[in-house]
Amino acid sequence: MIKPELLAPAGDLEKLKMAVIYGADAVYLGGESFGLRKASKNFTLKEMKEGIDFAHERDRKVYVTLNIIPHDEDLIGIEEYLKDLRKIKVDGVLVADPGMFVKVRNTIQDMPIHLSTQASATNYETVMFWYNLGVRRIVLARELSLNEIKGIIKRIPEDLEIETFVHGAMCISYSGRCLLSNYMAGRDSNRGGCAHPCRWKYFLMEEERKGQYFPVYEDDKGTFIFNSKDLCMIEHIPELVKAGISSFKIEGRVKSQYYVATVVRSYRMALDEYLKDPNNYVYKPQWLDEIKKASYRDFTTGFYFNKPSGKDQVYTSSSYIRNYDFVGLVLDYDDKTRLATVSQRNRMFVGDEIEIFGPNKDFVTQRIEKMWNEFGEEIEVAPHPEQIVKIEMKQRVEPWDIIRKDRGSDSIG
């Protein structure tokens, strides 16, 4: 039995550090060009180097996405960029397009190449085609069942790794190859500019009855017919490990720092618990409960166990469920005074009931009794973004611990 890699998204430098601290074995990120997530902040080369150094110091890996489906104009400057990636010691790159593969192979021959899910690898012959060209990790298409994944893994060489998505948003188009965004908003999803039209509201109109809109589902306000539930496989860690999957991938480069920490932490705890003693592993519902304290849609297991049906869609809203706010990040703690120095992320009030959690440990609950600003003045509320405050703590906390609160628990506001 192999120990799978837990692979987390890093939309910016802060999220990279959070993913590493909270238990990711590796992160994937995009630079300012050639990747599929223009909506995330992404990385300059300087930021990428800082992130890679941070990860490597902790024995973690960093992969860079080059997974656009490029036109000729999109390949301008790629050779220089690839040489820069090698200089800053990137651990691998993801490609989806044969032309991009050739550019990487001809420019930096020693760089590990991972095949992106955008390449739609769904069968053994396709997997072996890319293996014979030199690819040593394949991110399979999300449209495969667990039995199909196991069938492929049983036949491939030992030095070929299989990566699959285990958590995050699902795309209604095959392996993300969507044309709706380009057609409706002029933004090419296959070149990084997806406008997410799958989350928009749609109506049905008969050709001869212009202006008469018929609900596609049982709701006279319209329906979100393309709006998939989010993938979540945390309840199925044993099946994923036994299948021989090498890397468990979490989606979400445009998600928040808090989301990344929360989801990575739960998967880290579940995976470690299983690997510690597979024969006596017991799934803990609180791992999923914790994930639900970040923003989420209702969950599905995608294609893993059966073909998705209407039950795997959300027809009423495209909004996320968000019951908790990330209100603070612990920067420091003084054992003598029991004061935590905190960077504010959403407003906090004296009297608020808060939860504090960190990597590989359960959360604790307390009330904010006293709070001071950076000038030592006692305050009742911390309203300013990233305001530095000190909070009296009931229990010891550590840097990188996160403070959250129930969204309905403002004591004043």
Instruction: Say how far apart CA 342 and CA 334 lie, in whole Å.
Output: 12
Write the CATH number of the domain with boundaries 324-406: 2.40.30.10
Domain locations in the chain as residue ranges:
5-174+227-312, 324-406
C-alpha distances in Å from residue 9, one per residue of 14, 134, 261, 354, 413:
11, 25, 10, 27, 33
Q: Is 346 in a helix, a strand, or coil?
A: coil
Read off the pLDDT of each residue in 320-328 and give the average, rounded to a whole number.
90
- Cβ atoms within 10 Å, residue 88: 16
CA 304 from chain centre, in angstroms, equals: 19
Q: What is the mean pLDDT of the chain?
A: 88
Helix pair angle (13-21, 257-276), 10° resolution: 20
Per-residue confidence (pLDDT) for residue 254, from 0 to 100: 83
Per-residue confidence (pLDDT) for residue 199, from 0 to 100: 65
Length of the chain: 413
Of the listed ranges 20-34, 141-155, 207-221, 301-315, the least confidently predicted one is 207-221
Residue showing tokens 């999957």: 245
Per mean pLDDT, which of 33-37, 51-55, 407-411 is the most reliable? Answer: 51-55
Query: pLDDT band at residue 180, thresholds of 50, 70 and 90?
Result: low
Instruction: Say how far apart CA 371 and CA 279 lie, in whole Å.
Output: 47
Predicted TM-score (pTM) of the model is 0.86
Beta bridge partners of 214: 204
Query: pLDDT band at residue 40, thresholds of 50, 70 and 90?
Result: very low
Beta bridge partners of 164: 248
Write the CATH number of the domain with boundaries 5-174+227-312: 3.20.20.380
pLDDT tens-place string over residues 106-161: 999 999 999 999 899 999 999 999 999 999 999 999 999 999 999 999 999 999 99
Largest CA distance in the chain: 77
Beta bridge partners of 365: 355
